[in-house]
Amino acid sequence: MKEKEVLTKKPVKSCKLLFFLALTGIVLMGNTHVVTARSAQLPDVASVQADTTVYITPSDAAQYPGGQAAALKYVADNLQYPAQDKADKKQGTLLMKFVIERDGSVNHITVVRRVGGATPAMEAEAIRLLKNMPKWTPAKDRGAVVRASAGMPIRFKL
């Protein structure tokens, strides 16, 4: 009887293993097929123009003209410290998020987080500063110009 029990247990285990391997193979083959199909089909120009998708990580990120150093210089040169906050010696940092449009303009500016003693007046100034930024070089994904999300900290320090 022990021989029969041992014999019946082995096929069950190998049957489970075969089922698992077959299922894994189907899932892997399915994902490979989807990836291949997706990479083979590039969107047509009309659908890209009408697309309102905001890319978080496009293949080529949007860039400020002159690079990051120029963006920091723009902020330093154009930041107007709110008078009341300056008198009260308040300091803080705002983490800003915005969208770089296909034409390079900055839109949909939001404050992600306040750090330190950032005030509503500082928020208003950071939004004004970003709205008046020169146009960026827009992002590209697979060669097509796309809308992309970007972020920047704005520091108010005396």
Q: What is the DSSP string of 53-97?
A: -EESS-SB--B-TT-HHHHHHHHHHH----HHHHHTT--EEEEEE
Mark whether 69 and 108 lie in a shared domain.
yes
The reply to whether 74 and 92 lie within a common domain is yes
Q: In 3-state terms, the chain is what percent helix, strand and coil (to 5)?
A: 45, 25, 30
Residues 62 and 131 in one domain: yes
Output the six-digit token pair for 134: 């020169």
- If asked whether residues 79 and 18 sit together in one domain, one would say no
Of 135, 71, 129, 127, give the one whose Cα is nearest residue 106: 135
For the residues 124-131, what does the mean pLDDT come to?
Answer: 96
Segment among 13-17, 77-81, 124-128, 134-138 with least mean pLDDT: 13-17
Kindly tell me the burial class for residue 51, based on how many C-beta atoms sit within 10 Å of its own C-beta (0-12, 13-18, 19 or more).
middle
Q: To which residue do tokens 């003209």 refer?
A: 65
Are residue 54 and residue 117 in the same domain, yes or no? yes
Return the C-alpha torsion angle 69, 72, 74, 77, nearest 10: -120
Residue 121 has pLDDT above 70, yes or no: yes
With cut-offs at 50, 70 and 90, classify the pLDDT of residue 46. low
Rounded-to-integer distance, Cα 24 and Cα 74, Å:
53
Residues 148 and 70 in one domain: yes
As a whole number, mean pLDDT of residues 90-110 equals 96
Report the distance separating Cα 94 and Cα 101, nearest Å: 22
Mean per-residue pLDDT, 71-90: 95
Q: Are residues 66 and 139 in the same domain?
A: yes
Same domain, yes or no: 28 and 75: no
**How many domains in the chain?**
2
For residues 24 and 59, membership in a common domain is answered with no
pLDDT, position 71 = 94
Pair 72, 147 in one domain: yes
Contacts of 150 by beta carbon, 8 Å cutoff, 6+ apart: 61, 62, 97, 98, 99, 100, 136
Do 88 and 149 fall within a single domain? yes
Higher pLDDT, 32 or 90: 90
Whether 36 and 86 map to the same domain: the answer is: no
Domain that holds residue 22: 1-41
